[in-house]
Amino acid sequence: MVSIQSHHTIIPSNPTPNEKLFSLCEQIKLRTHAPLLYAYNKSTVNNHVLVATFMSSLSKALSIYYPLAGRLSLIDGSRWEIICNAKGALLIEAACNGKTMHDFCGDDFVPTGLVSQLIPNIDYGTPVSETPLLAVQITRFNCGGFTIGVALCRAAIDGTATMRFMNTWAKLAKGESLDPYDQFPCYDPSLLNSRTLLRNSKKVLHDHSEELFGTPPPWLGPLRKDSRVVVEVVKLTKEQVKKLKTKAAINNVKTPFSSFEVISGLLWRCVTKARYQGNGDQPTRLTTLVNCRNRLKPPLPNAYAGNAVFPTVTTTCSFSYLMQNPLSSAVEKVKKAIAKVDDEFVRNALVYIGNAKDMDLVRYNIHYPAKSVHKGGFKGNPNLFVVSWMNFSYKEATFGFGEPVHFGPGFMDSEGKAFITNNASGDGFNVAIALDSSHMDAFKKLFFGEIEEVFPISKL
94 membership: H or E segment, kind and range: strand 89-96
Q: 3-state class of 224 per DSSP? A: strand
Is a pLDDT exceeding 60 seen at residue 270?
A: yes
Calpha distance 358→38 (Å, rounded): 36
- The mean per-residue pLDDT over the stretch 174-191 comes to 87
CB 293: neighbour CB atoms within 10 A?
A: 18
Confidence of residue 196 (pLDDT cuts 50, 70, 90): low
Is a pLDDT exceeding 70 seen at residue 198?
A: no
Percent of the chain with pLDDT over 90: 71
Confidence of residue 249 (pLDDT cuts 50, 70, 90): confident
Instruction: List all residues 6 or more positions away from 242 whose beta carbon is below 8 Å from its beta carbon.
Output: none
Domains of the chain (ranges, CATH numbers): 2-192 (3.30.559.10), 207-391+412-459 (3.30.559.10)
Pick the range with the lowest mean pLDDT from 5-14, 233-242, 260-269, 357-366. 357-366
Q: 3-state class of 181 per DSSP? A: helix
Is a pLDDT exceeding 80 seen at residue 460?
A: no
- pLDDT tens for 60-81 read 999 999 999 999 999 988 899 9
Calpha distance 270→330 (Å, rounded): 10
Classify residue 216 by burial, with Cβ atoms within 10 Å: 0-12, 13-18, 19+. Answer: buried
Calpha distance 248→149 (Å, rounded): 37
Calpha distance 155→25 (Å, rounded): 9
Residue 353 per-residue DSSP state: H
- pLDDT tens for 217-247 read 999 987 766 778 999 999 999 999 999 999 8
